[in-house]
Chains A and B, each alone.
Chain A
Amino acid sequence: MDCCSSSCSSSCSSAGTPNDNPQIRQTAERLAVLLKQTEEYQEFVRLASLVNLDPDVRRILLELRQQQMMYANPTRDTIESLQAELETLPAVQAYRAAEAAVKTLFHSVDRAIGAAAGVEFAPNALRSGCG
């Protein structure tokens, strides 16, 4: 069933309003610079770089990749089991906690943007998928 929303046909032809207001660009960049300075962001970036160096994480990711490359249809149980094992690793749990903290912060910021704009911001920050 073709489930493209009612907005699809019209959005394809009219999307593309340029952001030609320099104040918007400057304020968006200033906000992002402020967010980069938060503890939440700093911790997330630190742990994101560390998590991929963890030997257990690397081993499981390699196994996952091998499963996907070697078998056209790797069993769902195997994949799910490896993913579950990955999530139990301390490095991954620390990364997930930092990720959740960044999401909480960004949600709060996004609510403030949306409340002032009168329209939800991130949920509407969509590129047209019709082209």
Chain B
Amino acid sequence: MDFMNEIEQTARELGELLAAETSVSSYLKATRAAQQDAAATALELRYIQLFEKLAGQEQRGEPLQREEVDEFYALKRQVQEHPLLGARDDQQAAVQALFAETAQQMTAVLGFDYTAFAR
């Protein structure tokens, strides 16, 4: 097998092994469930939009409206407490831990941070 093909094949194998892990399949399932819930999607969208607006204002040194800051924290709490979004985030954290550990094994062999070069 051509050397670059061997690399590509091994990368695919690694991806398939990761896909077979419960944490990955659970995360994908939880993501789909959250995406299919219109209320959850709208809540998260509003939270992200307000976050981006406030962060932009803060960066530009503009004053933040008290009502909007209060709304931001209220939305944040709602997002964190939403069962579908919370379940997705829990599964994502498990996937991130698995991926981080796997990437760390590659980093140990390579001698430099794999993720810093692959992102």
Residues of A within 8 A of B (CB): 1-3, 6-7, 9-11, 14-19, 21, 23-25, 27-38, 41, 45, 99, 102-103, 106-110, 112-119, 121-128
Residues of B within 8 A of A (CB): 3, 6-8, 10-19, 21, 23-24, 27-28, 44, 47, 51, 54-55, 58, 64, 69, 72-73, 76, 79-80, 85-86, 89-90, 92-103, 105-111, 114-115, 117-119
Q: Find out whether the CB atom of B14 lies under 8 angstroms from the CB atom of A128.
A: no
Interface of B is mostly: helix
Nearest first, the 7 closest Cβ-Cβ pairs linking A and B are A116-B15, A11-B93, A32-B109, A7-B89, A125-B103, A112-B11, A122-B118
A-B interface pairs (CB < 8 A), number: 183
Residues from chain A with Cβ under 8 Å of B106 in the complex: 28-29, 31-32, 35
Known interface pairs A110-B118, A117-B24, A118-B19. Does A125 touch B99 (Cβ–Cβ under 8 Å)? yes
Q: What is the CA–CA distance of A116 and B21 in the complex, to the nearest angstrom?
A: 12
Known interface pairs A18-B101, A30-B10, A106-B117. Does A9 touch B80 (Cβ–Cβ under 8 Å)? yes
Q: Find out whether the CB atom of A10 lies under 8 angstroms from the CB atom of B80.
A: yes
Q: What is the CA–CA distance of A110 and B103 in the complex, to the nearest angstrom?
A: 10
Q: Find out whether the CB atom of A21 lies under 8 angstroms from the CB atom of B85.
A: no
Q: What is the CA–CA distance of A54 and B24 in the complex, to the nearest angstrom?
A: 46
Residues from chain B with Cβ under 8 Å of A11 in the complex: 89-90, 92-93, 96
Q: What is the CA–CA distance of A40 and B92 in the complex, to the nearest angstrom?
A: 32
B25's closest neighbor in chain A, by CB? A118
A110's closest neighbor in chain B, by CB? B118
Contact of B14 among A3, A27, A118 (CB under 8 A): A27
Q: What is the CA–CA distance of A110 and B19 in the complex, to the nearest angstrom?
A: 14
B28's closest neighbor in chain A, by CB? A118
Contact of B97 among A15, A21, A34 (CB under 8 A): A15
Q: What is the CA–CA distance of A10 and B96 in the complex, to the nearest angstrom?
A: 13
Query: Which residue among B3, B51, B119 has the maximum number of chain A CB atoms within 10 Å of its CB?
Result: B119
B21's closest neighbor in chain A, by CB? A21
